[in-house]
Structure 1
Amino acid sequence: MTSCPYIIAFNQMLSVQVEVFGLFQFIIKAGKKKMNITSIDYLLLFQFLLLSIKLPFPTMVDAIVTDLLTQLGSIAAQQAQQEIKLIAGVDKEVQMLKDGLRIVQAMLNNAEERQASDVAVKLWFDQLKDVYYMMDDVLDTWNTARIKSQIQKEEEEKNDKSRAVKKVGSFLPSLSFCFRRVKSLALRHEIGHKIKTLNETLDKIVKDRVTYGFDLTKQHDVIEHIKTTSFVDVSNIIGRENYRGDLLSNLLGKGSQEDRKPQVISLVGMGGIGKSTLAQLAYNDPEVQAHFQVRMWVCVSEPFDQCKIARAICQELDSESPHNITELQSLLHKICDLIRGKKFLLVLDDVWTEDSTMWEPFKFALEYGAKGSKILVTTRKYRVAERMGSVHIINLGVLSDEDCWLMISKIVFFDNDQHKDLEDLGKQLANKCKGLPLAAKTLGGLMRNKRSRDQWKNMLDSSLWELEDFEKGLLAPLLLSYYELPLALKRCFSYCAVFPKDYLFSKDQLVLLWMAQGYIESKVKTEMEIIAGEYFENLAIRSFFQDFEKDESDDKITRCKMHDIVHDFAQSMITNEFVAIDGDMELEIDYKSVHHLRLKFSKEMLFPVSVYHAENIRTLFLLSDEIDYNFNMLISNLFQNFRCLRTLILDCPIKKIPDVVENLIHLRFLLLSTKVEIEELPETICNLCNLQTLCIDNCYCLKKLPQGMSKLINLRHLIFDTYAMTQFPRRIGRLISLRTLSHFIISGKDDKEGCKLGELKILNQLQGTLRIQWLGNVVDVCEAKNAQLKKKTHLRGLYLGFEGEDENDRRINNNVLVLNDLEPHPDLEYLEIYDYQGTTIYPNWMISLMKLKTLCFFACPKLKGLPPLGKLPFLESLSIIDVDSLEKVGVEFLGLESIYKKDNIFPQLKSLKFSFLKEWKEWVGIGGMRNEEINGVTIMPCLQDLTISRCPKLKVLPYFLRTTPLKKLVIFQCPILGERCQKEIGEDWSKISHIPNIKIDWKYMQTDDGECDA
C-alpha cells in the first residue's frame, strides 16, 4: 500500500506545506529586518512560493491562496489582486517605459532651443529633464537586477554541486533559489510602483507638449563623420602677422643691460580675440625656443591662487617637483632655486586680478633668473597689464571682415572648391562675427557641411543673432552651432563643463566618460568607443575644442583644451545640473536637480552636509590634498546617499575604499588617482556589474585586485599602472567585453588563486597596448600557445616581461619556448621584451612584423646576439638596453641575405639607442667594408638620432654612419669610443663630422653652425 502513487503524492503535499510555511516565516523575519514589506507583500511572496513549487495537486494552491485572501478581508484581497496584476505586468511596463524614454529624448531635443528664450518652456523643459533622469534610473535598476540575478544563478550552479546529489523524489528548490525569486518579486513590486508614478507624471508633461506645440516628427540633421586631419587651425595664420612680429621682437630683444628684473610684456584684448593663440605661436617659435634656456606656461584664470600658480611654475621647471608642498614661501624658494642663473620665458595666460599685492611675491622670486628673462601676460583687462608692471603692452584689435571671411572660407571649403555662389552670403555671415577669430572659427565649423544657398540664408536669418550675448559677437555663433547638434552630441559637449577651465582633456578618457553617462547612441556592429570618437571629432571640427596635441605616429588627436568662453557657454547649458564646491562654503542650491558635483575640501573645512541632499548626482569628483580620520566615514556616507552615480573620480589620499561601494549599482566609470594610497580593493566592488571602466592611475601601493573580478561582465577597460602588484585574479578570461587590459600578471606556480597565461585565450577584442608580466612563472609552456595572441587583431602594442620567482635552467629553457609561442598578430606596431633569459632571440614571427614601428630589448642579461631586424620595413625606433652578454653587432643584425644583392637595410629607422652594454666591443657593417653602398646596399638611410651610452668596451663605429642623415649623436661614458670621436683628431671623426649636433659626455663637440660649444 505504501507504494501507491496517490499516497506518495499526498505525503509529498503535506511535506511541501510544512516547508512553504517555514519559508514564509523566514521571509517575514528577514523582511522586518532588511526590507520594507507590507502585509499584502507577504501574501504575494507566499503565493509566489506556492506557485514556484511543482505540487502534485495544483488546485490545492488556489484553495490555500483563496483561504488566506478571505482571512485578510475583501478590501485587502482586492488590493492584493491589483498588486499581483501590477507585478505580473512589469515586463510589459518596462518595455513601454523604454519607448517613453525615446519620446522624452525627442521632446528634449525639440524643446532645447525654445527654452533659451521662453521662460515657460524652460520650466517645462526642466521638468522633462528630471523625468528623463528618473526613467533612466528605473530602467537601469531593472536591467542591473536582471544581470545580477543571472550572475548569481551561474555562481550557484557552479559552486553548489550538492544539487546533483538530491534525495530520490525530492522536488523542492534550494533555499537560495527561493530567496532569489523572492528578491526578484520584491523588485518587480518596487519597479511596478515607480513606473506607475512615472507614467502619471509623464502623461501630464506630454499633454503640456501640445500646449507648447512641439512636433515629435521633426527630423534633425545627422552629423556625418569627418576626418579631423582635413582641417587646419587657420586662426594661427590669418590677420595676426603684424602682432606676431611685434611680440617676437619684444621677446627676443636684449633690453637694458642694467635691468636685472625680468621684463613683463602683455597681450590685452577681449575674450575670443586670439590672445592665447598668439602667445602660443610665440612660445613655440624656433627662435624663441633657442633664445631661452627654460620656458614655462601657466594658466592663471580666476581666482588668482598663489600656491596653485607657484606649484604650476615648479612643475613646469621640474616635472618631479613634489605636489604636496602647500606653503607659498616654500614654493617660492623652490622657484628661486630652479631658475637661478637661467634665462627663462614665463607665460601667464588669462590673468584677471588687479590686486598687485598678489603678484609681488612672484616678482621678487623671478628676479633670480638671468638677464634677458621675459614674462608674457595675456589678459582681458588693460589695468591688469599696468598693475603687473608691463614694459610693453600689445592691444589686440579685431579682425577685418575680409579676414573673418577668409578664415571661414578656409574652414568651410577645405577641398579648395570656393563655391562662388555662396560668397555673398558668406561675407554677410562674416560681418556678424564682430571681428572675433573664435566666432569665425565656430561659424566656419558650423557651415562646413552646408552647400546650398537655402541653408546659408536660413543661418543668416536666424533670430539667435538678436540675443544679448555674454561676450560681444560670440553667443550667436556658439548657439547656432550647438542647436544644430543632435541631442547626444549636445550632452557630450555640455558635459565638458564639469571639468575646470584650462583643463587638458584626454580624448580617450573623455570618450569613456561619455559612455559612462549613457550619451552614446548604439549602432549595430559598431563599437561604442568608435561612435564616441566620432562624436569627439565632430565637436572638434566645430571649434568647440582647441590646442590639439596629436600622436606622431598616426596624426590623431590625443589631448586638447577648451577656450574659456566656450567653457562658459557649456556651463550655461547645464546651469542647474552642475555644482562645484571648494571649501566649506554652503550654497543655496536646489540639490535635487544637481547631476554633476565637483567637491574639493581640506581637513580644516566644515563639510557642507547639505550636499547629502544631492541624491540624483551622476558624476562625483572628490578632490583633496589631505584628509583626517573622519574621511572614511564621510566617503561611506556619500556612497550610501549617492546611489545614482555613473562616474566616480577619487583624487584624494584615501587608504581604503569602503565596502558600501557596492551600493553604487549604476556606476560605469571609476578612477582612482595618483593620490590614492590603497593596497587592495574591496571584494564588494565586484558587485558593480555595470562597471565599464576601472582606471587606477599610478597607484603605486596597490598589490592585488579582488578575486571576484570575473563578475564584472560589462567591464571594457581595466587600466592600472602599479609596480607593487604581483597577483592577478583567476578567471579574468571570462571578461569577454574587455577592450583595454593594460597589464596581465601571471601568478607563481604555487599560487592556486592566481591567474595563468591561458586566461588570455578568448580575450580577442583587446585593443591598444597589453603588458604581460612574470612570464618567467609559466610552468606549462603550452599556455603560451593557448593565449592565442595572434588572434588579437586589434592589439597595437605588446610588452613581454619575463620576470620569474626563481633562477634555474627550467626558466631559461621555458623563456625561449614561451617567446616562440607568443606570436602576435602581424599588425603589431610596438614590441618590448624585458628580462628575457635566453641566449638568442630568434622567433620566426619577429621578422614577420611588417608594421612594427618601435622595438626595445631591455634587461636581457644572457643574450649574445641580435635577431635580423634590418628587413622590418616600417621600424622607426630601436633600443638595445642592459644586454650584458652582447659582444658584437654585425651583419646578422642587418638581416642581409647577400652583399651582392641590392637591398635597403632599416629603411625607415630614425632613432637607434644602445645603452648599458658592458661587454659590447664590435659594431661592424657589411663585413667591415668601407664602402657601405657597394652593389646598391643602403643602410639606415633615414637615421636621425643615435645614442650610445655606458658601453665601456666599444672600440669603433661602423663606416656606414658616414652616409646616414644623422642630426644628433650622443656618446656617454664610452671612454674608448669617446676618445676616437674627438673633433678633428679622433680616428672616427671622419665618420661623424657631418652630424650637426654631437654631444660626448655632456660636452657639445659641434653646434648647428659648426662652432665648437664645449
Structure 2
Amino acid sequence: MGGVGKTTMAQQICEDGVVRNHFNNCIIWICVSDEFEVNRLTRDVLKSLGVKLQDSDTRDTLMVNLRDSVKSKKFLLVLDDMWDDVLKDEKGWRTFHRTLSNGLEGSMILVTTRSSKVANLVSNSDPYELKGLQDDVFCDFFKLCAFKSNGSRNDPEMEHIRPELERIGRAILPKLKGSPLAAKTLGRLLKSNLRIEHWEDILRSELWTLEQEETDILPALRLSYIYLPHHMKRCFSICALYPKDQRFEKEFLADIWVAQGYVEAEDASSCFDDLVNRSFFQKADLSDKYVIHDLMHDTAQLVSEIECFIIQHVSDLAKIPSNVRHLSIFTNGNISCTELESICTQNKKLRSLVCNESYRSSKHFAPVIDCWFKELPNIRVLIFNISTVRKLPESIGNSKHLCYLGLFGSSTFKTLPSSVSCMYHVQTIKANGCKFKRYPQGFSDLISLKKISSDEFIYNKDNFDRQRLRWTQVGTSDEDLQMMEEHIEWLPHWNLQHLVIDSYRGKSCPSWLRPDCLKMLTSLELISCKNIQSLSFFEPPFPDSEESKNIYHLEVLHIRRCPNINWQGLVTLPSSLRRITLVNFGRSTDHFVSCFHDLTLLTYLKIQCELLTLIPLQVWISNLQSLEYLWVCWCSSLTSICVSEASSRHPVGVFSSLSKVTVSLCNSLLSLDEFLMPAYMPIVKIIHVESCRQLALLPIDELHSFSRLEELRIEGCPKLNMQRRMTLPSSLRKLRLINCPSIEYIDNSHLGSSMTLKGLSLRLDSCPDLISIVGAISVSEIQSGDINDCPKLMEITQPFTRRPYWYVLRNHT
C-alpha cells in the first residue's frame, strides 16, 4: 500500500541510537524507485561510502570496488521504494546482493516495497507488512491535520460549525483507507478553508467514485491538487520533469518557477513553503533538500502528462507527446547525440529541456548544444551536462527568451560567447562546477541577470536590488588577480541599492564603483578584499564643489578586513551616511577618521582597527550630532581620544544623541578622562569600558553627573589609578565592576545629596582595594547581585548572592 508509512518507519529505524551504534553510524540510504538498474544502484552505494568513480567504470569494476569497500564495514543498507522492475533483472540483483555479503558479520539490508513479489525475491524471511492506521488512531491523526488539534474547542468561532465539520470528516475518513499520507494531505487541504461548503464539495467530489483498486489513494491526492491555487498547480506539476526521488533545493525550484513566469520572484519562496505545508514536498532525511512522495509524483505526472515528459529509455522517443512543452532526458547515456538533435528539431515549442546525459566526445556533443540554441526559440529553461565541451556556441544569443541556464559537470571556459549580451531575459546562470576566466564585453548589459553561480564565484541580486559578489576560491597568481579584475569590471550593476563585495582579491575596484554610476546606492559593504589599494567612491568627482555632495545617497558603509586601502588623500564621506562599521579597514586610518565632516545623520559608528592611534574628539563632537551608538574595540595602537590644544580654546559641542558607548580591548589607551565627560554626552544611558590593560584614568568622580546613566560596566582594567571616590547617579540600574584593583570607595555622601539606588543590579568581583560602598548603596536596595573576592569590603559578608525573589548570605572564611 502506498503512503502507509514504510519510508517513515525505515527513517525512524535509521535514527534510533541503538541502531546507529550497532552499525557504527555506517547507514546508507538509497532511493531505488521504479527504475531498477544495478550499475546506478552500485554507484550510489559507493558514492555514499566516499569512493571516487570514473564514468568509464564497468559493472565488473563497480562490483570489485563495492566488495573492497564493504569488507571492513558493518553496515545497514536501506533500499527504499523498490518496485517490480527488479524482477526483470534478478541476475543483477543476486550479483549485487552477493557482493554485499562481503561486509562484516551483522551487516543488513532493509528494503521497503509495495510488492510482495519483490519482498519474496530479496529475502527468505517473512516480510513485515504495514497496514493502515487503526481507526481510532487514524481518526485522531486526521483531526490533528484538519483542525490543528484532535478534540479541543478553544476557538469560540469554531464551536457552532465544528460538529458539522466533524460529521463531514467522518464521512471522508473511509475513503482514505487508513493512509497517513492521504490523511495529512487532505487534512491540510480541509484546514486551509474551514467553511462547511468547502468540506461538502470535497466529500461529494466525483473523484471518489472513479473505479479504483482497493488500496488506491490517488483520488485524495488529486483532490488536494485540484484545490490548489492556479499558480501553485503549475509550480507543482512541472516537477514531473524529474524522476521519482529527485532531491530538490528550494532555491532551484524557486528559480525555475520564476523563469517560467509562474510566480513573481518575491512570491516564489512563500509558494514553495505553502506546498511543503500542504505535504506536496517533504524534507529529504536531515538535509536541506526536499523530495516528492512517489504517490505525489504520480499525481504530478498524471496532471501534466501532455505538457511534461521524461525520456528514460530509448523506446520513450516514440512516445513524446506532440504538445510537449517540458522535456527531460535521463537514460544514463543510452541515447545518441544524433537522437538528441532529432528531439530538438521535432519539438521546437519546448519551454524546458533538461538533459542529464554525459558524453565523452565534445566533437559530437557540441553540435547538439548549437542545435538547441538555434532550434528552440521559445526555450526558457535549459539545463544540461556540459561534459567535455570547452566552448559554448555563438548561437546562444538566439535564445532571447532563455531565463535559466544550468550547466553541470566540470569545465573551464576562456569566456562566454559575445552574443550572450543579447540574452536580455536571462535571470540565472548556474554552473557550479564550471570556471569562466573572463566575461565578454557587453555582459554588463544583461539587465535581468540575478544570479551567477560558478566554481569560484557567486553573483546574487535579490528582489530588493541587493547585490552580493563573492569569490569562493581565490588564486594568488598575477593571472588570477587580473582575471578577477576583469570579472568584476563586466558584471551587471544596474539600479543597485545595496552592494556587497566579498573576498575580492583584485588591487583596483571596477570603474563603475563611483557615486555617479551608482546613484541609487544606499549600502556598500566590502569584506576581505585584501588587495584593494584605493576606493574611488570616496574621492569627490567634483572637488570643492557642492555638486559632489548631491550625488551621494549612501546610508550604510561597512568595511571589514581590507588592510591595504590607503586613505591618505582627499576623502569625502557622504553626509547621507547613517551607519558606519570599520574593521581592519586599511592604512592612514587616523586621516580617515578625521574626515568625519557633516555626518549629521550618522547614528551608529563601530571602529575596530589595530593601526588607529588617535580619535579627534573635536571633529567627532562637532559633526556627529545624531550619533546614538559608539563602539571602539581592538584598537591596540589607540593612545588618545581627546580635543587638540588648538580646538580646546573654542566651543566643541556635544554628542547630543549619544546613548551607548563601548570602549574595549584598546591596550595602549591611557586615559578616558577627557572623553567620558557628562558635558559631552548629556543623555548617555550605557557605558562599557572593558579590557583596556594600560588604562589609568577614568572620571569616576563625575559619574553622578550622568543624569540618565542606567548601566555602567568597568572590567579588566588592572592599571586604573583612581584615588578619587566613585560617585553614582540615581538613574543607575546596573553596575558591574570586575578586576578593577584601584577602586577604593563608592560613595555619594560627600555630595550632600540623598540619592537612592533602589532596584539596582550589582556585580562586584575581584576588586581587592574596594573598602566601602556605604553612602552610595545599601544592601536593602540591591535587587539582584553578586559580590565576591573583595577582601577589604567588610560591610557585606562574602560571597554575597541575591536574585529578585531570593537571596543567600554565606560566610566567607
Fold similarity call, TM over 0.5: yes
In the TM superposition, what whole-angstrom CA distance separates every residue of 1:134-175 from its partner, at most 9, and x where no partner exists?
xxxxxxxxxxxxxxxxxxxxxxxxxxxxxxxxxxxxxxxxxx
In the TM superposition, what whole-angstrom CA distance separates every residue of 1:445-498 from its partner, at most 9, and x where no partner exists?
110122233322222122111113478342221222112122211111101111
> 3-state SS of the aligned residue for 1:580?
strand
> 3-state SS of the aligned residue for 2:176?
coil
Aligned pair in 2 of structure 1 residues 332, 434: CA closer, same or farther (>3 Å)?
A: same
1:463 aligns with 2:206: yes
Q: Which residue of 1 aligns with 2:621?
A: none
> 3-state SS of the aligned residue for 2:33?
coil
Query: Which residue of the other structure, out of 550, 573, 598, is the alignment partner of 2:328?
Result: 598
Query: Which residue of the other structure, out of 372, 387, 407, is the alignment partner of 1:638?
Result: 372
Q: Which residue of 2 aligns with 1:290?
A: 21
Q: Which residue of 2 aligns with 1:736?
A: 495
Query: Which residue of the other structure, out of 239, 244, 269, is the alignment partner of 1:533?
Result: 269
Q: By percentage of residues, which structure has more strand? A: 2
Q: Which residue of 2 aligns with 1:303?
A: 35
In the TM superposition, what whole-angstrom CA distance separates every residue of 1:633-655 from its partner, at most 9, and x where no partner exists?
12111211111001111223221
Q: Which residue of 2 aligns with 1:328?
A: 59
Q: Which residue of 2 aligns with 1:777?
A: 532
Aligned mates of 1:351, 1:817 — CA distance in 2:
71
Aligned mates of 1:707, 1:739 — CA distance in 2:
24
Q: Which residue of 1 aligns with 2:180?
A: 437
Aligned pair in 2 of structure 1 residues 740, 501: CA closer, same or farther (>3 Å)?
A: farther
Q: Which residue of 2 aligns with 1:569?
A: 299
Q: Is the 8 A contact 1:307 1:326 kept in 2?
A: no
Alpha-carbon deviation of 1:549? 7.3
Matches within 5 A, 1:638-787: 638-653=372-387, 654-699=389-434, 701-722=435-456, 723=473, 726=484, 727-730=486-489, 732=491, 734-736=493-495, 745=504, 747-749=506-508, 756=513, 761=518, 774-780=529-535, 782-783=537-538
Q: Is the 8 A contact 2:243 2:310 kept in 1?
A: no
Aligned pair in 2 of structure 1 residues 692, 827: CA closer, same or farther (>3 Å)?
A: farther
Aligned pair in 2 of structure 1 residues 603, 394: CA closer, same or farther (>3 Å)?
A: closer
Alpha-carbon deviation of 1:275? 0.7
Q: Which residue of 2 aligns with 1:366?
A: 100
Alpha-carbon deviation of 1:678? 2.6
Alpha-carbon deviation of 1:405? 2.4
Aligned mates of 1:799, 1:373 — CA distance in 2:
55
Aligned mates of 1:563, 1:272 — CA distance in 2:
8
> 3-state SS of the aligned residue for 2:207?
helix
> 3-state SS of the aligned residue for 1:300?
strand
Q: Which residue of 2 aligns with 1:400?
A: 134
Aligned mates of 1:737, 1:442 — CA distance in 2:
42
Q: Is the 8 A contact 1:733 1:760 kept in 2?
A: no
Aligned mates of 2:18, 2:37 — CA distance in 1:
32
Aligned mates of 2:119, 2:570 — CA distance in 1:
68
Q: Is the 8 A contact 2:397 2:419 kept in 1?
A: yes
Aligned mates of 1:381, 1:470 — CA distance in 2:
15
1:317 aligns with 2:49: yes
Q: Which residue of 1 aligns with 2:290?
A: 560
Q: Which residue of 2 aligns with 1:811?
A: 564
> 3-state SS of the aligned residue for 1:707?
coil
Q: Is the 8 A contact 2:27 2:76 kept in 1?
A: yes
Q: Which residue of 2 aligns with 1:516?
A: 259
Q: Structure 1 vs Structure 2: percent identity of aligned residues?
A: 28
> 3-state SS of the aligned residue for 2:665?
helix
Q: Which residue of 2 aligns with 1:344?
A: 75
1:281 aligns with 2:12: yes
Aligned pair in 2 of structure 1 residues 413, 454: CA closer, same or farther (>3 Å)?
A: same
Alpha-carbon deviation of 1:279? 1.0
Matches within 5 A, 1:2-151: none
Alpha-carbon deviation of 1:716? 2.6
Provide the alpha-carbon RMSD of the alignment.
5.1
Q: Which residue of 2 aligns with 1:454?
A: 197
Aligned mates of 2:137, 2:499 — CA distance in 1:
45
Q: Which residue of 2 aligns with 1:626?
A: 359
Aligned mates of 2:148, 2:193 — CA distance in 1:
12
In the TM superposition, what whole-angstrom CA distance separates every residue of 1:908-950 from its partner, at most 9, and x where no partner exists?
xxxxxxxxxxxxxxxxx97699xxxx96489xxxxxxxxxxxx
Q: Which residue of 2 aligns with 1:104?
A: none
One-letter code aligned to 1:595: R
Aligned mates of 2:568, 2:763 — CA distance in 1:
39
In the TM superposition, what whole-angstrom CA distance separates every residue of 1:687-706 from its partner, at most 9, and x where no partner exists?
0111122222232x321222
> 3-state SS of the aligned residue for 2:132?
coil
One-letter code aligned to 2:494: L
Aligned mates of 2:712, 2:315 — CA distance in 1:
75
One-letter code aligned to 1:572: L
Aligned mates of 2:666, 2:315 — CA distance in 1:
66
Aligned pair in 2 of structure 1 residues 892, 731: CA closer, same or farther (>3 Å)?
A: same
Q: Is the 8 A contact 2:322 2:347 kept in 1?
A: yes
Aligned mates of 2:32, 2:452 — CA distance in 1:
34
In the TM superposition, what whole-angstrom CA distance separates every residue of 1:85-137 from its partner, at most 9, and x where no partner exists?
xxxxxxxxxxxxxxxxxxxxxxxxxxxxxxxxxxxxxxxxxxxxxxxxxxxxx
In the TM superposition, what whole-angstrom CA distance separates every residue of 1:181-226 from its partner, at most 9, and x where no partner exists?
xxxxxxxxxxxxxxxxxxxxxxxxxxxxxxxxxxxxxxxxxxxxxx
Aligned mates of 1:898, 1:719 — CA distance in 2:
43
Aligned mates of 2:168, 2:568 — CA distance in 1:
70
Higher relative contact order (CA 8 A, sep 6+): 1
Q: Is the 8 A contact 1:706 1:729 kept in 2?
A: no
> 3-state SS of the aligned residue for 2:193?
coil
Alpha-carbon deviation of 1:363? 2.8
Aligned mates of 1:595, 1:384 — CA distance in 2:
35
Aligned pair in 2 of structure 1 residues 744, 363: CA closer, same or farther (>3 Å)?
A: same
In the TM superposition, what whole-angstrom CA distance separates every residue of 1:367-391 from its partner, at most 9, and x where no partner exists?
3433322222111112222322354
Query: Which residue of the other structure, out of 266, 271, 279, is the alignment partner of 1:543?
Result: 279
Aligned mates of 2:335, 2:309 — CA distance in 1:
21
One-letter code aligned to 1:681: L
Alpha-carbon deviation of 1:656? 1.2
Q: Is the 8 A contact 1:306 1:358 kept in 2?
A: yes
Q: Is the 8 A contact 2:337 2:364 kept in 1?
A: no
Q: Is the 8 A contact 1:745 1:755 kept in 2?
A: no
Aligned mates of 2:124, 2:519 — CA distance in 1:
64
Q: Which residue of 2 aligns with 1:410?
A: 144
Aligned mates of 1:863, 1:325 — CA distance in 2:
57
Aligned pair in 2 of structure 1 residues 622, 377: CA closer, same or farther (>3 Å)?
A: same
> 3-state SS of the aligned residue for 1:393?
coil
Alpha-carbon deviation of 1:548? 5.7
Aligned mates of 1:401, 1:764 — CA distance in 2:
62
Aligned mates of 2:420, 2:175 — CA distance in 1:
54
Q: Which residue of 1 aligns with 2:644?
A: none
Q: By percentage of residues, which structure has more helix? A: 1
Q: Is the 8 A contact 2:513 2:536 kept in 1?
A: no
Q: Which ranges in structure 1 are unaligned for 5 or more consecutive residues?
A: 1-269, 521-527, 552-557, 803-809, 866-872, 874-879, 881-889, 906-924, 939-1014
Aligned mates of 1:466, 1:775 — CA distance in 2:
69
Alpha-carbon deviation of 1:357? 2.0
> 3-state SS of the aligned residue for 1:348?
strand
Matches within 5 A, 1:930-949: 936=763
Aligned mates of 1:720, 1:662 — CA distance in 2:
20
Aligned mates of 2:428, 2:218 — CA distance in 1:
36
1:478 aligns with 2:221: yes
Aligned mates of 2:556, 2:245 — CA distance in 1:
38
